[in-house]
Amino acid sequence: SVDSTSRSNSNGASASQERPPALSEEEDEESRFRHAFEVKECLGSGAFGDVFRVKDKVMQKFYAVKIVHSKSNALREVEALSDLLHINIIRYFSSWEEETRYQDGSDSFSG
């Protein structure tokens, strides 16, 4: 599931934001994921990671982003998805790695 947090914007108004449970407040400040996307909902969770429906803050487009907690699993998945182009398979766009304090010390993001 996705945690909900309240924050104040520059005007002092409170805004409700959702964030993946793997990211702490400190990590939130430097996270590419948190700066680029607004989490709308958790689409699913499993042994290999969590998938979130997100909205790109600049382009205003919706994406599915998978947060994978094992670097080796993420690399295999990215290699497989980057070569696939099929109407019934979600299109792969990008991936990146961020330092976190979750499990092995890093999370991999792909969307």
What is the average pLDDT across 69-80? 83
Look-up of token digits 């907690």: 69
- Domain spans of the chain, in order of start: 32-83
Local structure of 93: helix, strand or coil: coil
Residues annotated within the binding site for ATP are: 66
The predicted model scores a pTM of 0.61
Which residues are documented as binding site? 66
Check residue 95 and give its pLDDT: 85
Provide the pLDDT for residue 43: 92
Using alpha carbons, list the distances in angstroms from residue 8 to 13, 14, 15, 26, 57: 5, 4, 6, 16, 17
Q: Which CATH superfamily is domain 32-83 in?
A: Phosphorylase Kinase; domain 1 (3.30.200.20)
Are residues 52 and 41 in contact, defined by beta-carbon separation less than 8 angstroms?
yes
Burial class (CB in 10 A: 0-12, 13-18, 19+), 56: middle
